[in-house]
Chains A and B, each alone.
Chain A
Amino acid sequence: MIHVEQLVKRYRKATRNAVDGISFDVHAGEFFALLGPNGAGKTTTISILTTTLAPTDGTATIDGHDIVREASAVRRKVGIIFQRPSLDRNLTGEENVRFHAVLYGVYPYAPSYRLMPTAYRQQVEELAAIVGLGDDVFTPIHTYSGGMSRKLEIVRSLIHRPRVLFLDEPTSGLDSPSRRSLWSYLERVRRESNTTILLTTHYLEEAEQADRICIIDQGRVVSYGTPSAIKADLVEEYVLVDTADRAQLRAELATRGLAFSGEGPFRIELSGRGTHAVLKSIDTPLSIVQTHMPTLEDAYLEIVGRTDA
């Protein structure tokens, strides 16, 4: 559905590439997360894919359409929730939705809600009910809470039934209850419409829900795959052991071919072996056994921390 190859973007007057040769693929119906710290190049990537920013180099296609040469066809197929809310705050919720529907050619334009086609009014009523806006959909946006605005943006972005929905840090600035309800709504959208979703986030727990994750940092892909594959790739699992007789243990580890480091305590890399199997093979009585099984979050923080330093 989305194919990105060696994408590069250098902003004017910038000294380094904001996006520095990124490649990835997203399958139809997939929930895909671009994960990375602030400034990693996530928004830049999304802007290029939604044709609002011209790439410096590289290519990308969406549903077979080139994002530069067939920009108009791409725009028809995608919906986007921008990082910063992009509703007109002087208009009502419904007027914002109507504006969008007309711009995407879903309905002809009429200057008032009553004059719009019945199908449109039905759709708005349903959507307002789903999002929990009710009659508030007819009040100006500046009376909405952050969570309500966000949901309305999602409603709006789905009205032209996009094949791909881009969500650029949709939960930033929302409190946890709003975040949770937004997620359950998105889950539902995904189940019901089978829309491909590309999410950017710097929250790992949001990315972990995805089918696949692409971690980027400083414009480059750091890791790419399913959450469990990424975990295997990034997370180093080891067991720390110590004993009263270190010389004997060192000799034993060497003869058994167990890679280790340290002068005591010794660090034995598990590299896929079970902790139990490793411990069972050691005869020297151990005084300390400490397993190190970090979470994906620990690994992610380590990557981010490494580059921040």
Chain B
Amino acid sequence: MHELWAVLAIAHRDLVKLLRDRTRLISDFIFPLIIIGVLGTSLQAGFGEVAGFDILTFVFTGVLAQTLWQSAALGVISLIEDRENDFSQEIFVSPISRYSIVLGKILGESLVALPQGIAIVAFGLVIGIPLSLTALLALVPVVLIVTVFGAAFGVLVLSRLPNRRAATQIFPFVMLPQFFLAGVFNPVGNLPWFLDIASRLAPMRYAVDLLRNVYYAIHPESVDVALAPIGTNLAIIGGLFAVFIVVGTALFVRAEQNR
């Protein structure tokens, strides 16, 4: 029970910090709007008819998954900030399990990512993306899985980072290629073999594909662009999640203790 309370306390702390950080709240809302609004609309205008499917919806579903996944991952990576502010000492010297620390952080940063998801969905409704109530309800569990999965990926990245500078430097290499490999804006169904392998290795791909699967299952009027069945996506996400947590926590604890 004690461990559960600790997980909740760690998660709640992240949420409180978000609510007190207005700049971050505002930028959370604005960035995805720019991507969907500007990029999605211009792609639709340029290639929509050639592609034969609704690019705006495609980009919308992609950005929804990508934003949640990435924002949860980055949130966990912000643990590095705690280390520099010396607050992580306070957490690490406490008698709770190292897994509780990591789980609390994953839960907290998943919660912190959710307002962004709400903002994107609201914006989607405004620009006329077809979103039925069924689809919205069905997306709730998907969104939770995507954020928790992203946060777990963050744990793995964090475990290999020495400081915040390294975090900002490594970010473009870890995140940007995945934008394209995961098919957020671009279809990845017909890639040359080497890019196809890279795409299958990008964890974000499975988050994006899971969300599209669920969305297009409920809105069959759009052309189905999903890559693999829901079950396959869930199995891969589950497996990667377990690996990220176990390996990430082990590496993270080792980095803290064996300096």
Give the interface of A toward B (CB within 8 A): 11-12, 50-54, 72-73, 75-76, 78, 80, 82, 84-91, 95, 98-100, 102-105, 107-109, 111, 140
Other 16 A-B pairs with CB < 8 A, given A88-B17, A95-B13, A99-B9: A51-B93, A52-B92, A86-B87, A87-B87, A87-B90, A90-B17, A91-B13, A95-B16, A98-B9, A103-B94, A105-B2, A105-B5, A105-B6, A105-B95, A108-B1, A109-B9
Q: Which of A54, A89, A111, A140 contacts B85 (CB 8 A)?
A: A89
Q: Is the interface of B mostly helix, strand, loop or mixed?
A: helix
| A99-B92 Cα distance, complex, nearest whole Å | 13
Tally chain B residues at the interface, Cβ within 8 Å.
29
Given A12-B259, A52-B257, A90-B20; A109-B5 close (CB under 8 Å):
yes
In Å, the complex CA distance between A268 and B1 comes to: 70
Neighbouring B residues of A80 by C-beta, 8 Å: 93
B16 touches A102 (CB 8 A): no
Cβ–Cβ < 8 Å partners of B25 in chain A: none
Contact of A104 with B9 in the complex, beta carbons under 8 Å = no
Bound form: Cα–Cα A76–B6 in Å = 14
Looking at the complex, which one of A86, A91, A108 makes contact with B5 (CB distance below 8 Å)?
A108
Q: Give Cα distance in the complex from A80 to B96, angstroms.
A: 15
11 A-B interface contacts by CB (under 8 A): A51-B93, A53-B259, A72-B95, A76-B95, A86-B90, A87-B87, A90-B16, A91-B16, A100-B94, A103-B95, A105-B95
Chain B residue, CB-CB nearest to A95: B16
Which residues of chain A come closer than 8 Å to B258, judged between CB atoms? 12, 54
Give the interface of B toward A (CB within 8 A).
1-2, 5-6, 8-10, 12-13, 16-17, 20-21, 85-87, 89-97, 256-259
Measured CB to CB, the closest approach of chain B to A110, in angstroms, equals 9
SS class of chain A's interface: helix, strand, loop or mixed?
loop
Docked CA distance A219–B11 (Å): 39
Find out whether the CB atom of B6 lies under 8 angstroms from the CB atom of A102. Answer: yes
Interchain nearest-CB distance for B78 vs A (Å): 12
In the assembled complex, the CB of B82 is this many whole angstroms from the nearest CB of chain A, namely 8
Contact: A103 with B86, CB < 8 Å? no
Residue in A closest to B15 when the chains form the complex, CB atoms: A111
Q: CA A51 – CA B256 in complex, angstroms?
A: 11
- The CA-CA distance from A164 to B21 in the complex, in Å, is 37
Instruction: Tell me if B13 and A99 are in contact (CB < 8 A).
Output: yes
CA distance A88 to B5 in the complex (A): 19
Q: How far does the alpha carbon of A111 sit from the alpha carbon of B93 in the complex, in Å?
A: 23
Considering only CB atoms, which chain A residue lies closest to B257 in the complex? A54
Q: A222 to B94, alpha carbons, bound, how many Å?
A: 32
